[in-house]
Amino acid sequence: MATGTLTAERILEVTEEVLRRYGPAKATVVDVARALGVSHGSVYRHFRTKAALREAVTHRWLGRTEQALEELTAAPGPAPGKLHDWLATLFEAKRHKAGDDPELFATYNVLIDESSGVVDQHVTVLEDQVRRILEEGVSAGEFAAPDPAASARAVFAATARFHDPSYAPTWESETAEEEFEQVVGLLLRGLRP
């Protein structure tokens, strides 16, 4: 049996390993418990159902990107550069997730389909970060956006090709970077006062 205190965080770490090894169709709570050296009941004390565990893993995975982007959002600096950097960081984070660990990325695409509430919450967090950057830009006279929330949703939708997992196969194309810069440049020009 496992030594030390079993925490939700440790369960989530091991669940990622199990998902990577077996995939979402075959990974079970028993597999997670076995990898932890505990009974499956111990896992269920932290996560009441398999669905709750999978949702928590998805939330944790998406939260890593949110945290990195929040640091950019809160950083000082001109809003146009901040928005560019925010979008570039989001694109790069998604590309790394798809390219560095394709098995886990594929697994998360399945889990994301199961956890639409988690995904909706993630999109809301990201759009809110963009809104805050736009509001800063409006306050500084760098952007013209009468409705920053609507503009944030539009920016997020316009750049979907660079962050929506369904576009992952195109992220490593020879022209992906150039296309990204063209789209972001167009958006930044459109936001000028």
pLDDT on residue 134: 98
Pick the CATH number of 1-47 from 1.10.8.420, 1.10.10.60, 3.40.50.1390, 3.40.50.300: 1.10.10.60
Q: Please, what CATH class does the domain formed by 58-191 belong to?
A: mainly alpha
| pLDDT at site 22 | 86
pLDDT tens across the length of the chain (193 residues)? 455 689 999 999 998 889 888 887 888 899 999 999 999 999 999 999 888 888 888 888 888 899 999 999 999 999 999 999 999 999 999 998 887 777 777 777 776 777 668 888 999 999 999 999 999 999 999 999 999 999 999 999 999 999 998 899 999 999 999 999 999 999 999 999 9
- Write down the pTM of the prediction: 0.84
In the chain, where the domains are located: 1-47, 58-191
* pLDDT on residue 108: 72
The sign of the torsion formed by the CA atoms of 37, 39, 42, 44 equals positive
